[in-house]
């Protein structure tokens, strides 16, 4: 983990944290001493040696950290070294990161798992007399790294991490639905220290989704309000893997159940979504197919954005169960001809 030497010198009793310099780092990190007419190397981090490096105009060094030291660093420099989102089994984190890799290939939204501590090998390297640094603080996990380090990892070790996704985006249109919004926010406040974002309109919802990367989207009045449908389509076009819930009415009457439902959706992974993506979907029933074709034909003859949104929303709903790829492309072609994009 790379540190500014001036920051390290602000830490009292740094010698007592049992830190060593990273042997693999290209930065200076070795103490050379001479006695008995021989050169000896010492990798221990000490205040005296840090002062020597500073006097040599070296600004940064890479050192192997431990949790006790990281706790102190986070207390002193919270903006540079934020609190982790939690700790999780390293194997599980690699599994999540692998799913994110698959999703990142198809989605404009990019998801990452970042490790917020130094992770060492399960066993001591006897030639070095220490555990080898496998994953450095701030590293994003990926399948290539997994293949490289998995044989040396402790499979049950839990490590601190940061998920690029965090928070809930809520969009409830129109002032008359204010109670629905208030009740949703009341439930969300019980989830802990999770950011809650309130969108003003469909475009604002998309902008928040892009910039804040929430883990869950909650839409109000989705089946009956055109602005909610716009938000739904904007976000799903940007990220086909978005996790979303819809509330037509206030969840207050069944608060315990709905709190559990929201919590489960927020903390659940993407395994089921990816499995459903692989599943071969049924062909549209003839009656539904004819209805969709009629809607597309009407749009082609007399296009309006609101009618397009209604049609797009309907096709997306049918797409949960049936293969609607052909009809979706047809609808997009109609939009391009009328809108020019």
pLDDT digits (tens, 9 = 90+) for 158-185: 999 999 999 999 999 988 899 999 999 9
Q: 110, 131, 163: which is the final residue of a domain?
A: 163
Domain co-membership, 172 together with 273: yes
Question: What is the token pair recorded at 39?
Answer: 């050169």
How much is the pLDDT for 58? 84
Give domain status of residue 108, yes or no.
yes
Give the separation between CA 230 and CA 220, rounded to whole angstroms.
12
Domain presence at residue 37: yes
In terms of domains, do 67 and 143 share one?
no
Domain match, 158 and 173 both: no
Evaluate whether residue 246 is within a structural domain: yes
Q: Tell whether 96 and 148 lie within a shared domain.
A: yes
User: pLDDT confidence of 34, banded at 50, 70, 90?
Assistant: low
Task: Give the residue from 76, 108, 132 where a domain finishes.
Answer: 76
In this predicted structure, the answer to whether residue 29 has a pLDDT above a threshold of 60 is no
The predicted-structure confidence for 50-63, as pLDDT tens digits, reads as follows 888 888 888 888 89
The verdict on residue 248 lying in a domain is: yes
Q: Which domain holds residue 298?
A: 286-339
Query: Which of helix, strand or coil describes residue 245?
Result: strand
Q: Which helix (H) or strand (E) holds 293?
A: helix 286-301
Domain assignment present for residue 263? The answer is: yes
265 located within any domain: yes
Distances (CA, A) of 141 to 66, 115, 332: 19, 7, 36
Domain boundary among 76, 102, 121: 76
- 81 located within any domain: no
What confidence tens digit (pLDDT) does each residue in 304-323 have?
999 999 999 999 999 988 99
188 with 267, same domain: the answer is yes
Angle at 243 between CA 238 and CA 245, to 5 degrees: 115
Verify that 30 and 98 share a domain, yes or no. no
Same domain for 207 and 240: yes
pLDDT value at 230 more than 90: yes
Same domain membership, residue 231 and residue 180: yes
Q: Are 199 and 268 in the same domain? A: yes
Question: Quick one: 195 and 252 in the same domain?
Answer: yes
Q: How far apart are the first and last CA of the chain?
A: 47
Counting the structural domains of the chain, the total is 4
Q: Which pLDDT score, from 0 to 100, does residue 40 have?
A: 64
- Do residues 225 and 267 both lie within one domain? yes
Q: Are residues 173 and 263 in the same domain?
A: yes
Q: Is residue 223 part of a domain?
A: yes
317 burial (CB, 10 Å; 0-12 / 13-18 / 19+) is: middle
Q: Which CATH number goes with the domain that contains 207?
A: 3.40.50.2300
**Distance (Å, rounded) from C-alpha 169 to C-alpha 212?**
9
pTM for this model (two decimals): 0.89
């Amino acid at each position: 983990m790379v540190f500014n030497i001036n920051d390290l010198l602000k830490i009292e009793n740094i010698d007592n944290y049992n830190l060593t310099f990273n042997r693999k780092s290209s930065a200076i990190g070795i103490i050379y001493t001479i006695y008995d007419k021989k050169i000896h190397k010492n990798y221990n981090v000490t205040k005296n040696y840090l002062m020597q490096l500073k006097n040599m105009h070296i600004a940064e060094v890479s050192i192997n950290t431990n949790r006790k030291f990281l706790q102190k660093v986070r207390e002193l420099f919270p903006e540079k070294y934020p609190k982790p989102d939690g700790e999780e089994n390293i194997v599980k984190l690699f599994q999540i990161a692998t799913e994110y890799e698959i999703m990142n290939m198809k989605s404009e939204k990019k998801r990452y798992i970042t490790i917020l501590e130094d992770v060492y090998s399960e066993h001591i390297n006897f030639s070095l007399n220490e555990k080898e640094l496998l994953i450095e603080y701030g590293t994003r996990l990926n399948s290539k790294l997994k293949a490289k380090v998995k044989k040396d990892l402790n499979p049950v070790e839990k490590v601190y991490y940061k998920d690029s996704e965090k928070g809930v985006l809520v969009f409830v249109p129109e002032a008359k639905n204010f109670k629905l919004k208030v009740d949703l926010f009341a439930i969300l406040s019980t989830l802990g220290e999770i950011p809650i974002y309130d969108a003003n309109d469909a475009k604002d919802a998309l902008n928040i989704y892009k910039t804040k990367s929430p883990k869950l989207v909650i839409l109000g009045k989705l089946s009956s309000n055109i602005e909610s449908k716009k938000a739904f389509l904007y976000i799903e076009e940007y990220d086909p893997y978005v996790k979303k819930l819809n509330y037509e009415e206030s969840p207050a009457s069944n608060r315990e159940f709905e709190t559990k439902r929201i919590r489960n959706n927020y903390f659940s992974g993407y395994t089921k979504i990816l499995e459903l993506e692989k599943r071969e979907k049924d062909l549209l029933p003839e009656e539904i197919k004819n209805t969709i074709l009629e809607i597309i034909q009407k749009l082609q003859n007399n296009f309006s954005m609101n009618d397009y949104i209604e049609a797009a929303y309907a096709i997306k709903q049918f797409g949960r169960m049936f293969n609607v790829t052909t009809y979706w492309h047809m609808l997009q072609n109609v939009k391009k001809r009328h809108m020019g994009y």
